[in-house]
Structure 1
Amino acid sequence: MSAPTLPIALTPGDPCGIGPEIIARTWREQPLLVHGCFVAGDAGVMRRAMALVCGGVPFPVASIEAPSEAWWVPPGCLPVLQVVAPAPALPWGVVDARAGQLAGECVLWATRAALRGEVSAIVTAPLHKEALHAAGAPWDQYPGHTELLQAECARDAGVPLARMPVRMMLANDELRTVLVSIHLSMREALDAITPQQVMQTLQIAHDALLRLLGRVPRIAVAGVNPHAGEGGLFGREEIEVLQPVIAQAVAKGMDVLGPYAPDTVFMRARHAPGHPGEFDAVVAMYHDQGLIPVKYLGVEQGVNVTLGLPLIRTSPDHGTAFDLAGQGKADASSLVQALRMARQLAGLPL
């Protein structure tokens, strides 16, 4: 009997953090949502997390031999494909190089499985950047998930990294933002606001949202400076970079507007009861400009989607929460939303 379609792989993130715990909680509380999904990781890590979440109530963790077997695991059972060497019990809430290596290896396996066409999407629980760096080569060259995914996809395609541009979209039910740059210092982020970078961001956002929405998306561009520069009084990036790029995007058939004052554009884009948003997404100029408004609306509902890759990747909008790890209190809401988004993008039933 063949599987209905390709399954979804979840990676556990840093085993010293809350990643395995929120995966275990999702399996316990969302049995329909996890159908056709599996964990690409370590069975021992997931058994410890499931015991933490279930408080002694039995919830089996089953080892599978291939991704396709995820479809045939009965409800009330968490399937794990062992893709790393069995891990020792690592301490909760600390930076550990062994945890960083395990997290990196799981993501690398899932990325390669997606590129081989063995899974339809990957959902990544949070890893810890310091632990990843502590694991040494090759993991210390990646600031985080996005850069690791980008590098592996570029290698698979046989192209330089610059030919595999990616962007982060952070989304919830009320707001979507797409970032021109992500993990850069503020000074470097300002230098990254170039015509090429902004146009790439608009094209990637347009293409991704067109697939997601089934129509041409309406995209707002946030300005760089207060009041979007106020006609050049507070900076000229809007005049010299953003306005010409927006005109080029419109000429290519995109529905792009702006630049708008960054302190109001997110409110205008927000879809709330009694307030339909004016835009489908906002393109933000740097990391915090775009992430603060989405996270303010509720970090537990936010989903990080990596755009521009030849695969589907989503993740929860929070970190490893070392201060909560091992207590059985972590909220899985953001991971649930990330899994819902992955199923939607992959065309799987919700």
Structure 2
Amino acid sequence: MPRSTRSASTAGRSAICATSGATRWSIIAESLPAPLAVSLGDPAGIGAEVIAKSWTRRAEEALPPFFAVGDVGAVEAAWDGPIAVIADPAEAMTLFDEALPIIRVADSTAPPGSLDLIGARNALDALELAVGLARSGAASGLVTGPVSKTRLYAVGFTHPGQTEFVAERCGVAGELVAMMLAGPTLRVIPVTTHIPLAEVTAVLTAERIVAKGRAAARGLQRQFGIDAPRIAVAGLNPHAGENGALGREEIDIIMPAIERLREEGFEVTGPHPPDIMFNAHRRAGYDMALCMYHDQALIPLKTLHFDEGINVTLGLPIVRTSPDHGTAFDIAGKNVADPGAMIAAIRTAGECAGRLAAA
């Protein structure tokens, strides 16, 4: 039996909100062999709040069964609803409608918004455990909550971000995975990620573009059910280089990569001028935009889908998603965080895991 820290009947939190939502939830639940693991992220941030709010909307949003991994005290501080502390992920499948299941990682006593590094250590421990559960099959997929890279670096974290950490734990080289950011009307992948803008041209190669494009196309086929993904490749320079007048990267690096991807059978266009490829008309012509650097991808995505953007890591042997927002320490503990991106990350992870389970 689970160790419940609060009654599952508290404030009617376990009520199914709508019949249609309950039906959708049942269909998704039945398609997964195991629940999803959701790492809490930094316990001083908004991770606990948005995870708990997602659970309260599980039926109306048709969310698959999931369990949190992390600091129970952080969830209790963020929310007064029902919590069930579990030891086995399988318990979440039967408890999910009654309480938010959570596997405990050593608790931090720091309040929301605190810069106590114990919380950062707990966030890393929770991530490690959640990745292991997904790799073992005890969880059908992984959703990672927001962390502070600065705080993680202070406790010994050596990776650029959670994406690279998860890839390493899965035994996949970082260049073989793609960090796809997605919203309802746009999917983007940055070829280069968390590096200074001044270093982009030094690391941008045709091989890197091909690897990201290949991971993107195969991931969209495998996890999203898109048989022939249409990939639009952005240029690096203004107006995609103006035939070399504004830079030669399009001629020397990007176009050769596009040609190689086409030779492998992928539907690829470009290089497109970055300033026009994200309008509604252009977006309708592709399934994913391959961008050359971080902000080229993230600015249009966050402009269009700030409260519902998610990160999907393609090229892994497991499903991994995350909300595309940070810890928001400034609003932690105020009960004002929008759970939209976390809901989208959980839903997408369930859909991707369901496709893989059915394959």
TM-score, structure 2 as length reference: 0.86
The verdict on how the C-alpha distance between 1:151 and 1:74 changes in structure 2, with shifts beyond 3 A counting, is: closer
- Mapped to 2, the partners of 1:233 and 1:309 lie a distance apart of 39
SS at match of 1:283: strand
1:91 corresponds in structure 2 to: 111
Identity of aligned residues (%): 40
Aligned partner (choices 129, 132, 135) of residue 112 of structure 1: 132
Contact 2:230 2:287 in 1 (8 A): yes
Deviation at 1:142, TM superposition (A): 2.0
Contact 2:184 2:305 in 1 (8 A): no
TM-score, structure 1 as length reference: 0.88
1:45 corresponds in structure 2 to: 74
1:69 corresponds in structure 2 to: 91
Contact 1:269 1:281 in 2 (8 A): no
Contact 1:167 1:308 in 2 (8 A): yes
1:101 corresponds in structure 2 to: 121
CA RMSD, 1 decimal = 1.8
Deviation at 1:76, TM superposition (A): 3.8
2:178 corresponds in structure 1 to: 167
1:56 corresponds in structure 2 to: none
Contact 2:46 2:328 in 1 (8 A): yes
Paired AA for residue 111 in structure 1: V
- Mapped to 2, the partners of 1:195 and 1:13 lie a distance apart of 35
1:80 aligns with 2:109: no
Q: How does 1:1-350 map to 2 (within 5 A)?
A: 5-31=33-59, 33-51=62-80, 59-73=81-95, 75-82=97-104, 84-85=105-106, 87-136=107-156, 139=157, 141-154=158-171, 161=173, 165-211=176-222, 212-267=224-279, 277-347=284-354
Deviation at 1:78, TM superposition (A): 0.7
Contact 1:7 1:71 in 2 (8 A): yes
- Mapped to 2, the partners of 1:343 and 1:74 lie a distance apart of 14
Give the number of aligned pairs: 324
SS at match of 1:94: coil
- Mapped to 2, the partners of 1:41 and 1:129 lie a distance apart of 17
Deviation at 1:209, TM superposition (A): 1.0
Question: Mind listing any 5+ residue stretches in structure 2 that lack a counterpart?
Answer: 1-29
- Mapped to 2, the partners of 1:190 and 1:221 lie a distance apart of 16
Deviation at 1:270, TM superposition (A): 5.8
SS at match of 2:199: helix
Structure 1 residues 58-104: Cα deviation after superposition (integer angstroms, max 9, x where no partner)? x221111211111110524111112x22x132122133211111111
Question: Mind listing any 5+ residue stretches in structure 1 that lack a counterpart?
Answer: 52-58, 272-276
Structure 1 residues 114-150: Cα deviation after superposition (integer angstroms, max 9, x where no partner)? 11121111111101111111223xx2x1232112112
SS at match of 2:85: strand
Contact 1:121 1:346 in 2 (8 A): yes
- Mapped to 2, the partners of 1:90 and 1:287 lie a distance apart of 33
SS at match of 1:20: helix
- Mapped to 1, the partners of 2:201 and 2:281 lie a distance apart of 23
The verdict on how the C-alpha distance between 1:260 and 1:135 changes in structure 2, with shifts beyond 3 A counting, is: same
The verdict on how the C-alpha distance between 1:248 and 1:145 changes in structure 2, with shifts beyond 3 A counting, is: same
The verdict on how the C-alpha distance between 1:70 and 1:34 changes in structure 2, with shifts beyond 3 A counting, is: farther
- Mapped to 2, the partners of 1:170 and 1:125 lie a distance apart of 15
1:55 corresponds in structure 2 to: none
The verdict on how the C-alpha distance between 1:256 and 1:319 changes in structure 2, with shifts beyond 3 A counting, is: same
Deviating beyond 6 angstroms after TM superposition, the runs of 4 or more aligned structure 1 residues are none
Deviation at 1:43, TM superposition (A): 2.3
